[in-house]
Chain A
């Protein structure tokens, strides 16, 4: 009982900011609540969900969001690992390099997204000017649907790779150096050390970075909103952006709630799977490293 009392403050906070809105949205998803109903919630017997299942724009947005999340997170993990390995070496001015590598991550997303929007601007941004003078061809990085999503992925990688690198660097520092020394005595190359020591012992940290980044990338909003506004032709529109448009542009709160809950269910099952994978990996790697 006393334990429960100690947990109560955080429990109340969690319920207030997390569970209550979720329940409210779940309830709202079974109601019509838009300008048409005078912004009064009226039960509509699952009509929102009917619409949701047949909403081609949502499914296209979901595919776009998954594409964005998987490509950017994969690249971030690979690059983050490389950067972490470099930063873990004894370098001159290591502290300075380490902290300055975090600058992209520390910048507010809207600020850096505006920056990239300008850099990729056609025809006035530096990238397009370079393309024009070098190849005599405009890139149209934010105006061409087949390229625009890659541009947003690029900006996301630029911003969040330092975060992944930070987590992995923390993980690298937990690996005792004598494991590498013992392997060196056996004649192990750097590649074998990476594959047999570093990666297996880093798995829990890789899983952690993966989970954080997947959840964030899946809910991407501000970066896309500022860089492209979801365009061109909805090609960069994420589900968070679509839900926002439904609620605050079309003032259809009932359907917006349906999108949120639907996406929430999808994302939580995704995270559950990721968590299971991590748990298995961690149990495999779990080692009390005797000291």
Chain B
């Protein structure tokens, strides 16, 4: 089972919200869509789910064209950012609604819901309303509803953005296990790159409705195809130094070392990050960020250097990577 988007676009009032999107998500693969807000990642999900109509291109599941099908006919399981649970129904009733609509018998409904609630460890909360659940529990109910749909594709729209940072980290392994166990193409939308890296085998970086790059987390970090990707992926942000030849040289903060020769600089400020320290150094080429070990002493005369292979060259005008 694969999900395939072919030149998918969405145009509203002569403006492309999403343009010429082509990608394939394999069976048993989780692909994350990341990008700044307004880049079209949620729209992409809605196009796949059929909640918004596509203007161009086609959406296919395992070679079957679903572009013109209604949302109900598409067999997609979606987890909404707000979880979209009905506040006046309890967990059991919320899950039961979809099964009832699809005409599943009472006995089968009960056993299926029991099964899925055991899976997300919420059977003891079956009689609670959403308001009586924590954010993490609500999210699991929303996931349970998507699982009950037994879809061919899973779509997760910022499922963790309503949870606090600690909880997000706690839930990640559980969510990853549940999603991967389904062995179905999954698209995971997030604006948090750490979450994307943790959840997905591949990441698609979107910029103004277009895909900048689709690749593994490792490659996105080490071989970004454009300045946009290089800046978007990796925190603290990559250093961008202007070259005499008009190119932009990108150097990751952890690749820069103190030495006896090289670019001279002055310490502007520093942030302690526990397992490291982030130094801001003022140089002739602007402020440079350096990640250093916490015990690193700051020399009196600061000179900075880095290995040539840690340098990524970009065209200053197009922002595209120059092959080395």
Q: A275 CB to closest chain B CB, in angstroms?
A: 19
Q: In the bound complex, what is the Cα–Cα distance between A103 and B77 (angstroms)?
A: 46
Residue of B nearest to A192 (CB): B101
- Docked-complex contact A185 and B87, CB < 8 angstroms: no
* In the complex, A187 has a CB within 8 A of chain B: yes
Q: In the bound complex, what is the Cα–Cα distance between A182 and B84 (angstroms)?
A: 7
Q: In the bound complex, what is the Cα–Cα distance between A201 and B86 (angstroms)?
A: 9
Query: What 0/1 readout, one digit per residue, does chain B (196-236) give for beta carbons within 8 Å of chain A?
Result: 00000000000000000000000000000000000000000
* In the complex, B88 has a CB within 8 A of chain A: yes
A16 proximity list for chain B (CB < 8 A) = none
A286 proximity list for chain B (CB < 8 A) = 87, 131
Query: What 0/1 readout, one digit per residue, does chain B (80-123) give for beta carbons within 8 Å of chain A?
Result: 11111011100000000110011000000000000000000000
Partner of B130, one of A181, A187, A192, A290: A290
* In the complex, B76 has a CB within 8 A of chain A: yes
Q: A290 CB to closest chain B CB, in angstroms?
A: 6
B135 proximity list for chain A (CB < 8 A) = 290
- Docked-complex contact B87 and A288, CB < 8 angstroms: yes
The answer to whether residues A287 and B49 also contact, given A182-B84, A200-B88 and a CB cut-off of 8 A, is no
B77 proximity list for chain A (CB < 8 A) = 185
With most chain B CB atoms within 10 A of its CB, the pick from A183, A185, A197, A291 is A185
The answer to whether residues A181 and B101 also contact, given A187-B72, A290-B135 and a CB cut-off of 8 A, is no
B83 proximity list for chain A (CB < 8 A) = 290
* In the complex, B183 has a CB within 8 A of chain A: no
Q: In the bound complex, what is the Cα–Cα distance between A184 and B69 (angstroms)?
A: 12
With most chain B CB atoms within 10 A of its CB, the pick from A178, A184, A197, A201 is A178
A196 proximity list for chain B (CB < 8 A) = 86, 97
Partner of B102, one of A187, A284, A287: A187
B74 proximity list for chain A (CB < 8 A) = 185
Partner of B78, one of A185, A285, A288, A290: A185
* In the complex, B259 has a CB within 8 A of chain A: no
A-B contact list, 22 entries, CB within 8 Å: A178-B81, A181-B51, A181-B71, A182-B78, A182-B145, A183-B101, A184-B70, A185-B51, A185-B77, A185-B149, A186-B97, A186-B98, A187-B101, A188-B97, A200-B88, A285-B87, A286-B131, A287-B86, A287-B88, A287-B130, A288-B130, A290-B162
Q: In the bound complex, what is the Cα–Cα distance between A163 and B257 (angstroms)?
A: 72
Of residues 48 through 83 on chain B, the ones whose CB sits less than 8 Å from some CB of chain A are: 49, 51, 70-72, 74, 76-78, 80-83
The answer to whether residues A183 and B97 also contact, given A286-B131, A288-B131, A290-B82 and a CB cut-off of 8 A, is yes
- Docked-complex contact B51 and A184, CB < 8 angstroms: yes
Q: In the bound complex, what is the Cα–Cα distance between A291 and B149 (angstroms)?
A: 24
Q: In the bound complex, what is the Cα–Cα distance between A183 and B70 (angstroms)?
A: 12
Q: B122 CB to closest chain A CB, in angstroms?
A: 16
With most chain B CB atoms within 10 A of its CB, the pick from A176, A196, A290 is A290
- Docked-complex contact A186 and B101, CB < 8 angstroms: yes
Q: In the bound complex, what is the Cα–Cα distance between A188 and B84 (angstroms)?
A: 14
Q: How large is the interface on B (under 10, 10 to 19, 20 to 34, 35 or more residues)?
A: 20 to 34
Interface residue count on the A side (C-beta < 8 Å): 24
Residue of A nearest to B102 (CB): A187
Of residues 68 through 111 on chain A, the ones whose CB sits less than 8 Å from some CB of chain B are: none
Of residues 188 through 204 on chain A, the ones whose CB sits less than 8 Å from some CB of chain B are: 188, 192, 196-197, 200-201
Partner of B86, one of A184, A200, A290: A200
- Docked-complex contact A185 and B88, CB < 8 angstroms: no
* In the complex, A131 has a CB within 8 A of chain B: no
B149 proximity list for chain A (CB < 8 A) = 185-186
Q: A287 CB to closest chain B CB, in angstroms?
A: 2
Q: In the bound complex, what is the Cα–Cα distance between A188 and B103 (angstroms)?
A: 11
Q: A283 CB to closest chain B CB, in angstroms?
A: 10
With most chain B CB atoms within 10 A of its CB, the pick from A179, A182, A285 is A182
Q: A206 CB to closest chain B CB, in angstroms?
A: 13
- Docked-complex contact A287 and B97, CB < 8 angstroms: no
A288 proximity list for chain B (CB < 8 A) = 87, 130-131
B49 proximity list for chain A (CB < 8 A) = 181, 185
- Docked-complex contact B80 and A182, CB < 8 angstroms: yes
Residue of B nearest to A179 (CB): B84
- Docked-complex contact B72 and A185, CB < 8 angstroms: yes
- Docked-complex contact A291 and B82, CB < 8 angstroms: yes
Q: A246 CB to closest chain B CB, in angstroms?
A: 47
- Docked-complex contact A284 and B88, CB < 8 angstroms: yes
* In the complex, A18 has a CB within 8 A of chain B: no
Partner of B82, one of A176, A188, A197, A285: A176
- Docked-complex contact A289 and B78, CB < 8 angstroms: no
Q: B33 CB to closest chain A CB, in angstroms?
A: 18
Query: What 0/1 readout, one digit per residue, does chain B (163-204) give for beta carbons within 8 Å of chain A?
Result: 000000000000000000000000000000000000000000
Of residues 16 through 63 on chain A, the ones whose CB sits less than 8 Å from some CB of chain B are: none
B81 proximity list for chain A (CB < 8 A) = 178
Q: In the bound complex, what is the Cα–Cα distance between A223 and B80 (angstroms)?
A: 50
